[in-house]
């Protein structure tokens, strides 16, 4: 006998909603009934009264925010869930602006979305804005003596009143929920995470970046000076771009796209060209690994249109070359590789964040060697890869693994199986959490190239194919996919 669904499960909610709609009950009555039956918080009850998922509400809130000038909001299912759970520890307090948007989406009053528990935790000054004057029980009786109406200020009094009003506004405008020291620390923490990702566990860095992003988002919902807001938007943009990069490395392309769009919004609000260029570089990377090669080229070219210091132009040209080579456009790929070298030679200044948001010479060589391999120059690709390791500069484990895979593939194309096995030894030693999507894909491409080669039937090739298959079974994207499947069971 199958287990009975718990009260308030989707099937029960839908059945109740349909019965009440058939009985011509209003949305408000459905929401009240759901709260009474299943002890739902008011915001959750209103969502279920409409029969919407968290993501459907997020999409509608985003649309409602976009329709209001200066009210843009980056909303997702997770954030809607946090608004519903507040004031629980796992929740997040919805601001008055958010409550107004939710009320518009649900077709109710803002007060309908709050219960006693919410009101006890809400800031008193904001609760005052929700209070409505109580209507009098009966018309007031006329006073025995009418008091004279106060005369509006005039002359010097009018000037003094206007000055007092301006002073009051200036005092408000000067207040801020973030200081310059805190802003400097947020930027330093972002730099640290962007660098940590090159060597540390990706899921650990992802969790840290997510928490820091939430902290910055919460600050942006408060009040600060325009300069401070611009700096906060820049930090938020880099953090969302970092989350997009990690998401794609873990094989989560849809989440990476969402993070990329939010990063672009932050870059636009910050008016920061270097951030714009790095966000477009990130979106180019996501599009390429998602198979949208023309889109990847367009993002890289858009990013190159911004004049920036640092190495972002080297990165964008390298990414364009990568996408062209996958399309089989050898001439365009060669041109982009040369443009990356020119950008490196003409580079001025340093990257604002660094870490994943920098294109070192080792990283440029990784792109160049992979491109040369695809367009039929294995000897040049091998020289580029070996030259990268000869420079002995710091590099990320993922980038180093990709360069070694290029070395191995070039050795195979040059009929040197021993060289291929030697190059792959450090790659096969990577722990599962560091077997990221780009590395896994390139190992699989190597296996496919080996199967097509003249050595496919040899004993060394068969051993290598077995090692590749076993290695890919423990890749980070596959482990995450399996854990999700187990959670859903």
Report how far residue 220's alpha carbon sits from residue 228's, in angstroms, rounded to the nearest whole number: 9
pLDDT at 162 > cutoff 70:
yes
Question: Among 275, 93, 293, which Cα is nearest to 194's?
Answer: 275
pLDDT category of residue 174 using cuts at 50, 70 and 90: low
pLDDT higher than threshold 50 for residue 1: no
Alpha helices (H) in 250-329, listed in sequence order: 253-270, 273-289, 293-304, 312-327
Q: Is the pLDDT of residue 134 over 70?
A: no
For the segment 160-176, the average pLDDT, to the nearest whole number, is 70
Give 48's pLDDT tier (boundaries 50, 70, 90).
very high
Calculate mean pLDDT across residues 52-74: 79
List of long-range contacts for 442-451, beta carbons under 8 Å, 24+ apart = 442/370, 442/402, 442/405, 442/406, 443/405, 443/468, 443/471, 443/472, 444/468, 444/472, 445/405, 445/409, 446/405, 446/408, 446/409, 446/412, 449/409, 449/412, 449/413, 450/412
Q: State yes or no: pLDDT of 249 exceeds 50.
A: yes
Q: Quick one: average pLDDT of 447-476?
A: 80
Least confident of 47-51, 66-70, 383-387: 66-70
Q: Write down the pLDDT at residue 463.
A: 81
- pLDDT tens-digit series, residues 175-212: 677 788 889 999 999 999 999 999 898 889 999 999 99
3-state secondary structure of 354: strand
Mean pLDDT rounded to a whole number for the chain = 85
CB 58 within 8 A of CB 80: yes
Quote the pTM value.
0.65
Give mean pLDDT, residues 12-38: 88
Q: Is 22 exposed, middle or buried (0-12, 13-18, 19+ CB in 10 A)?
A: exposed
Instruction: Report d(CA 369, CA 371) in Å as an integer.
Output: 5
How many Cα atoms are found within 13 Å in the side-chain-facing hemisphere of 12?
Answer: 10
| Mean pLDDT, residues 338-358 | 94
Which candidate, 254, 143, 233, places its Cα nearest to that of 484?
A: 254
| pLDDT band of 67, cuts 50, 70, 90 | confident
Q: Is residue 435 within 8 Å of 420, Cβ to Cβ?
A: no
The per-residue pLDDT for 333 is: 96
Q: Regarding predicted confidence, which is higher, 71 or 358?
A: 358
More confident position, 45 or 446:
45
Residue 51: per-residue pLDDT: 92
What is the pLDDT, as a whole number, of residue 72? 59
Cα(215)–Cα(176) distance, integer angstroms: 15
Residues 105, 68 contacting (CB under 8 angstroms): no
pLDDT above 70 for 126: no
Buried b (16+ CB within 10 A) or exposed e, 352-377: bbbbbbbbbebbbbbbbbbbbbbbeb
Mean pLDDT, residues 327-355: 95
Checking 221-226 for CB contacts under 8 A at 24+ apart, the result is 221/95, 221/97, 222/177, 222/178, 223/175, 223/176, 223/177, 224/176, 224/177, 224/178, 225/173, 225/174, 225/176
pLDDT value at residue 369 = 94
Mean of the pLDDT values across residues 98-115?
89
| Residue 138: pLDDT over 50 | no
Under a CB-based contact definition with an 8 Å cutoff, are residues 228 and 198 in contact? no
Interval 160-185 mean pLDDT: 75
Least confident of 114-128, 143-157, 257-271: 143-157
Average pLDDT of 406-425? 85
Highest mean pLDDT among 170-179, 221-230, 351-360, 474-483: 351-360
Sorting pLDDT into bands at 50, 70 and 90, what band is 105?
Answer: very high
| Per-residue pLDDT at 467 | 86
Tell which residue, 436, 438, 387, has the closest CA to residue 410.
Answer: 387
pLDDT at residue 2 in the model: 43
pLDDT for 395 beyond 90: no
Cα separation values, 473 from 428, 438, 477, 479, Å? 12, 15, 10, 8
Candidates 285, 237, 277; CA nearest to 261 is: 237
pLDDT band for position 485 (cuts 50, 70, 90)? very low
Residue 10, pLDDT score? 84
Mean pLDDT of 25-35: 89
Query: What pLDDT does residue 125 have?
Result: 60
Which region among 15-24, 191-200, 358-367 has the lowest average model confidence (pLDDT)?
15-24
Which of left, alpha, beta for 310 (phi over 0: left; psi -120 to 50: alpha)? left
């Amino acid at each position: 006998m199958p287990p009975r669904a718990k009260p308030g499960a989707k099937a029960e909610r839908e059945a109740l909603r349909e019965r009440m709609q058939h009985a011509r009950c209003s949305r408000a009555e459905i929401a009240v009934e759901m709260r009474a039956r299943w002890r739902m918080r008011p915001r959750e009850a209103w969502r279920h009264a409409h029969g919407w998922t968290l993501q459907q509400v997020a999409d509608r809130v985003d649309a409602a925010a976009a329709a209001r000038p200066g009210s843009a909001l980056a909303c997702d299912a997770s954030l809607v869930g946090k608004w519903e759970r507040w004031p629980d520890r796992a929740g997040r307090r919805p601001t008055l602006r958010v409550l107004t948007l939710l009320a518009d989406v649900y077709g109710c009053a803002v007060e309908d979305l709050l219960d006693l528990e919410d009101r006890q935790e809400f800031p008193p000054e904001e609760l005052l804005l929700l209070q409505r004057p109580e209507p009098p029980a009966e018309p007031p009786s006329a006073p025995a003596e009418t008091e004279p109406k106060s005369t509006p200020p005039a002359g010097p009094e009018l000037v003094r009143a206007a000055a007092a009003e301006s002073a009051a506004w200036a005092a408000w405008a000067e207040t801020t929920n973030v200081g310059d020291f805190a802003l400097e620390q947020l930027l330093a923490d972002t730099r640290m995470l962007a660098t940590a990702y090159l060597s540390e566990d990706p899921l650990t860095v992802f969790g840290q970046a997510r928490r820091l992003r939430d902290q910055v988002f919460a600050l942006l919902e408060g009040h600060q000076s325009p300069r401070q807001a611009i700096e906060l938007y820049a930090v938020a943009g880099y953090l969302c771009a970092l989350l997009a990069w990690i998401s794609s490395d873990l094989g989560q392309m849809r989440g990476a796209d969402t993070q990329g769009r939010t990063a672009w919004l932050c870059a636009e609000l910050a008016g920061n060209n270097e951030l714009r260029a790095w966000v477009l570089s990130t979106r180019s990377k996501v599009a390429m690994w998602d198979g949208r090669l023309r889109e990847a080229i367009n993002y890289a070219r858009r990013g190159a249109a911004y004049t920036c210091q640092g190495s972002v132009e080297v990165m964008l040209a390298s990414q364009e070359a990568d996408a062209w080579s996958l399309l089989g456009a050898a001439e365009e790929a060669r041109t982009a590789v040369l443009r990356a070298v020119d950008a490196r030679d003409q580079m001025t200044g340093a990257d604002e964040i660094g870490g994943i948001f920098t294109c070192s010479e080792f990283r440029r060589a990784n792109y160049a060697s992979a491109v040369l391999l695809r367009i039929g120059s294995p000897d040049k690709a091998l020289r580029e890869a070996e030259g990268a390791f000869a420079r002995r500069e710091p590099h990320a484990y993922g980038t180093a693994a990709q360069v070694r895979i290029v070395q191995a593939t070039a050795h195979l194309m040059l009929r040197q199986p021993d060289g291929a096995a030697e190059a792959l030894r450090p790659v096969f030693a990577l722990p599962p959490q560091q077997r990221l999507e780009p590395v896994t894909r390139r190992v699989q491409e190597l296996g496919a190239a080996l199967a097509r080669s003249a050595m496919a039937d040899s004993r060394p090739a068969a051993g290598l194919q077995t090692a590749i298959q076993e290695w890919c079974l423990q890749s980070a994207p596959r482990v995450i996919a399996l854990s999700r499947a187990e959670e859903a069971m």
